[in-house]
């Protein structure tokens, strides 16, 4: 079954404790992306990746890191989480079309709370 998986689904942590949210897709997609969703703000793109070892900042990259060492995986790293990073996080993947991205396939989301 074609899917994007994220782990963990729920996480409560404390300020400053490094964490990683994993994302994996089994569709051989070149494009992968992380979003955060906050009430009243919609989805905002954090980072995206066009392919292995190619990453770029989205609209809200501060406080986050990513890596793309393998095509299927795109982990999101919070080196020193702060309470303003409490949010619902989504990973997504897609093919790349000529001149743009294709349909995004979304993971189920990770609800992160930073105390």
Partner 1 sequence: SQQGEEDPQALSIQEGENATMNCSYKTSINNLQWYRQNSGRGLVHLILIRSNEREKHSGRLRVTLDTSKKSSSLLITASRAADTASYFCATGHSGAGSYQLTFGKGTKLSVIP
Residues that bind partner 1 (CB under 8 A): 31, 33, 35, 40-45, 48, 50, 56, 58-59, 88, 90, 92, 96-97, 99-109, 111
For 44, the token pair is 């905002």
Residue with smaller CB distance to partner 1, 17 or 57: 57
CA distance 1 to 111: 24
Tell me the C-alpha to C-alpha distance, in Å, between residue 106 and each of 25, 80, 115: 10, 26, 27
Least separation in angstroms between CB 53 and partner 1: 14
DSSP of 64-97, one letter per residue? -EE--SSTTB--EEESS--GGG-EEEEEEEE-EE
Compute the radius of gyration of the chain from its Cα atoms. 13
Least separation in angstroms between CB 115 and partner 1: 20
Residue with smaller CB distance to partner 1, 28 or 80: 28
Residue with smaller CB distance to partner 1, 53 or 79: 53
Least separation in angstroms between CB 16 and partner 1: 27
């Amino acid at each position: 079954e074609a899917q994007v998986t994220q782990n963990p689904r729920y996480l409560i942590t404390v300020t400053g404790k490094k964490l990683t949210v994993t994302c994996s897709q089994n569709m051989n997609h070149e494009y992968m992306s992380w979003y955060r969703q906050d009430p009243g703000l919609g989805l905002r793109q954090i980072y995206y990746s066009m392919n292995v070892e190619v990453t770029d900042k989205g609209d809200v990259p501060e406080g986050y890191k990513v890596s793309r060492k393998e095509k299927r995986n795109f982990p999101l790293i919070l080196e020193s989480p702060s309470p303003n990073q409490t949010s619902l996080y989504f990973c997504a993947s897609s093919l790349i079309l000529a001149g743009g991205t294709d349909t995004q396939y979304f993971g189920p989301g990770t609800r992160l709370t930073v105390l």
